[in-house]
Structure 1
């Protein structure tokens, strides 16, 4: 992206910047309710200051970004930053999209502005203090190489805001994803992509052949061929065919109170490929395992219940079954 930066002209730029600053995406600038006159007054203060400057970045003659640069040694709150020679503060605001949002525009503009500040403006270290709640800007700052030093309270209009005081040197920017020495798609090399594609195709052939969706033809010892219907494409590959087996244990036990139990029943499932490598599933029901199980033991009656039964009286405590389960009475 090629941006051209020109100094701020409050008279000429107040109207478009009013439209930018009063959108919801610019709410962290604190001017969404400002009138055109208030925005122009703010820009005139910036233009008249000796410690800060305003800039308009344009692409092909169309204003695209508003940038403020300032001297942190004079404008940063006392005690918030240890100033160094070559420090330059920066504020940035990108114009809202006129139509469909352009993918990657924010990252491209961020990279261009940081590069312009570091090389054209001669900064050795960039300083920013975005609102700690502005996660979108924090993510873009991190992508440009900014490092958060600390969180500080700084004046913001009539109140204060908790800001993430961050810095970025030329070395930080050069090593960042948005820097000139970084290529985000460097890992997408043709040799690596070819190897990955071969693994994906091999995986698809194996899985879909096992599920009988594909039926490769055998071409000799370990050699197979798959023709794509409706296209002059054939996949030739070598493969080994395995017999997959799975065992599932299904015990069936009656309730012990009913006085009988049945031994566990095993179900064996085995599948193996046919001559066309499609898998045939077989279900084999094994006979029950013959073993003797002792009858369930019943708890001995308590002495009070035995005496009540001998005398014909009703025991003082018994169990009754209801629709909600068993309860004592």
Structure 2
């Protein structure tokens, strides 16, 4: 496992309690992002996507519908993570979780700056994979996140090292691999895009 020591050199000077929750990215280029609403069909959509084998294999969250409802409500009530549906045209095509890295388990393996943001990304429909959606979306998302939080200097991803499809898409979308890290449910490749 390669260390990520050059990311560890940052000394925390901001008070994390003063950092707001993750922002909703205001997207351009034909993309639209909105917060997931668990009181609508959004819950059924996210639940169905998480059951899909190509998502479940790496997310490990093929939970019952009720558990997903609890999870979405938990995210919406806190300042750690924001569940988002991204559309291109009429229908959602991507589920995102935008999170504050310093409030996440990933902060145990590298010293996250208080305003760093992370992304979890899922293309829910298997038929929509390998269409270039993620590689096209990521530059828009990162630009929007940097605009939304001027103090954010890094956006990160931490895909499972076995998920070569995601790693290729994230690299094509402007993220650079930094090193492997051990997280509770996977060996991940930490990938970063800087401002």
TM-score by length of 1: 0.45
Work out whether residues 181 and 190 of structure 2, in 8 Å CA contact, stay in contact via their aligned partners in 1: yes
| Equivalent residue runs for 1:77-88 within 5 Å | 77-84=106-113, 86-88=115-117
| Equivalent residue runs for 1:126-165 within 5 Å | 126-155=155-184, 160-165=185-190
2:19 is matched with none
1:68 is matched with 97
Larger relative helix fraction:
2
Any idea what SS the aligned residue of 2:39 has?
Answer: helix
Work out whether residues 76 and 83 of structure 2, in 8 Å CA contact, stay in contact via their aligned partners in 1: yes
Work out whether residues 101 and 114 of structure 2, in 8 Å CA contact, stay in contact via their aligned partners in 1: no
What is the alpha-carbon root mean square deviation over aligned residues?
A: 2.3
1:214 is matched with none
2:6 is matched with none
Any idea what SS the aligned residue of 1:39 has?
Answer: helix
Task: Pick the aligned partner of 1:105 from 133, 136, 152.
Answer: 133
Does 2:192 correspond to 1:167?
yes
Q: In 2 relative to 1, CA 103–148 (structure 1 residues): closer, same or farther, beyond 3 Å?
A: closer
Shift of 1:93: 1.4
2:17 is matched with none
Work out whether residues 130 and 163 of structure 1, in 8 Å CA contact, stay in contact via their aligned partners in 2: yes
Q: In 2 relative to 1, CA 103–137 (structure 1 residues): closer, same or farther, beyond 3 Å?
A: closer
Task: Tell me the alpha carbon deviations over residues 145-173 of structure 1, each in whole angstroms, 9 at most, x when there is no partner.
Answer: 22222212112xxxx31111221113xxx
Any idea what SS the aligned residue of 1:9 has?
Answer: coil
Task: Pick the aligned partner of 1:11 from 36, 39, 51.
Answer: 39
Work out whether residues 98 and 119 of structure 2, in 8 Å CA contact, stay in contact via their aligned partners in 1: yes
Shift of 1:68: 0.8
- Mapped to 2, the partners of 1:64 and 1:45 lie a distance apart of 23
- Mapped to 1, the partners of 2:99 and 2:113 lie a distance apart of 14
- Mapped to 2, the partners of 1:77 and 1:104 lie a distance apart of 27
Work out whether residues 160 and 186 of structure 2, in 8 Å CA contact, stay in contact via their aligned partners in 1: yes
2:142 is matched with 114
User: Relative contact order (C-alpha < 8 Å, sep 6+): which is higher?
Assistant: 2
1:234 is matched with none
- Mapped to 1, the partners of 2:131 and 2:82 lie a distance apart of 29
Q: State the structure with more CA Rg.
A: 1
Aligned residues: 164
- Mapped to 2, the partners of 1:78 and 1:7 lie a distance apart of 24
- Mapped to 2, the partners of 1:30 and 1:37 lie a distance apart of 16
**Structure 1: gaps spanning 5 or more residues:** 171-329
| Equivalent residue runs for 1:167-316 within 5 Å | 167-170=192-195
Work out whether residues 85 and 124 of structure 1, in 8 Å CA contact, stay in contact via their aligned partners in 2: no
Work out whether residues 116 and 154 of structure 2, in 8 Å CA contact, stay in contact via their aligned partners in 1: yes
Shift of 1:23: 0.6
Q: In 2 relative to 1, CA 97–119 (structure 1 residues): closer, same or farther, beyond 3 Å?
A: farther
Does 2:74 correspond to 1:49?
no
TM-score by length of 2: 0.73
Task: Tell me the alpha carbon deviations over residues 107-149 of structure 1, each in whole angstroms, 9 at most, x when there is no partner.
Answer: 2233333333333454321011111111111111211222222
